[in-house]
Structure 1
């Protein structure tokens, strides 16, 4: 892509972002302005359509295209994940609970010993 074409793309991207944010601002203003005149159902439909339009316009920018590619790649990677079975999850959970209990008992014991040592060294009674 040439420098001139890239500059034109950048200027159009700015315009597209401006249009996208203007649509979102119009949604907010319209929702506030028409709060009493139009039912919540029709306002919700207008919000969904407006946000969809704003996302469509934003998706036409260079960063929007990058975001779409990233989302597609992320979805592909999530499909590759091997999720644990229910049994593996339960076994791992039990191991973590047991390890936590053992460590808490060890720390409780060490704390008790250290309190007694400090009390002995300082001459303070418990």
Structure 2
């Protein structure tokens, strides 16, 4: 095996370990939050302290997840998405109102056409069947 291959294997193994630690931290947050919320828990912890601990451990888990390969890929994707969002030309208020009204009018016209076709077929079927005596 080459040095690069060994390095990649070590990196993958380390990433898996990091994801395991993230999973353990999340499980610890969920378990601890429910356990210390119980009235018969050994140690009574206030809601404010529980929220602070949940936020701190969640931030630690998130930061650890962001140091993995998938986390770095996600950060790069978010940065590229932000750059692309800046390139978007958003419609003006006038264009938005005009497009909305056009869609509403087209929807009403198509609805009326379908109602007319449905009424025509209903009239034809009632004339041809027993319902139309």
TM-score normalised by structure 2 residue count = 0.88
Give the secondary-structure state (helix, strand or coil) at the position aligned to 1:2.
Answer: helix
Q: Which residue number corresponds to residue 26 of structure 1?
A: 28
Corresponding position: 1:118 with 2:120: no
Distance in 2 between the 1:18 and 1:24 partners? 10
TM-superposed CA distance for 1:124, in Å, is: 2.2
In 1, the alpha carbon distance for the partners of 2:92 and 2:46 equals 47
Is the counterpart of residue 7 in structure 1 residue 29 in structure 2?
no
Indicate the structure whose relative CO is greater, using CA pairs within 8 Å and at least 6 residues apart: 1
Post-superposition CA distance 1:39-75 (Å, at most 9, x none): 2222222212111110111111111111111111111
State the shift of 1:92 in Å. Answer: 0.9
**Farther off after superposition, 84-93 or 10-19:** 84-93
Q: 1: distance between equivalents of 2:96 and 2:58? A: 39
| Deviation beyond 4 Å, 4+ runs, structure 1 | none
* Gap runs ≥5 in structure 1: none
- Residue 82 of structure 1 aligns with which residue? 89
Distance 2:112 2:106 in 1: 10
Once the 2 structures are TM-superposed, how far is the Cα of residue 38 of structure 1 from its aligned partner? 2.0
Q: Which moved more, 1:21-30 or 1:79-88?
A: 79-88
Q: Secondary structure at the match of 2:120?
A: helix
Structure 1 match to 2:80: 73
Aligned length: 126
Output the aligned Cα RMSD: 1.5
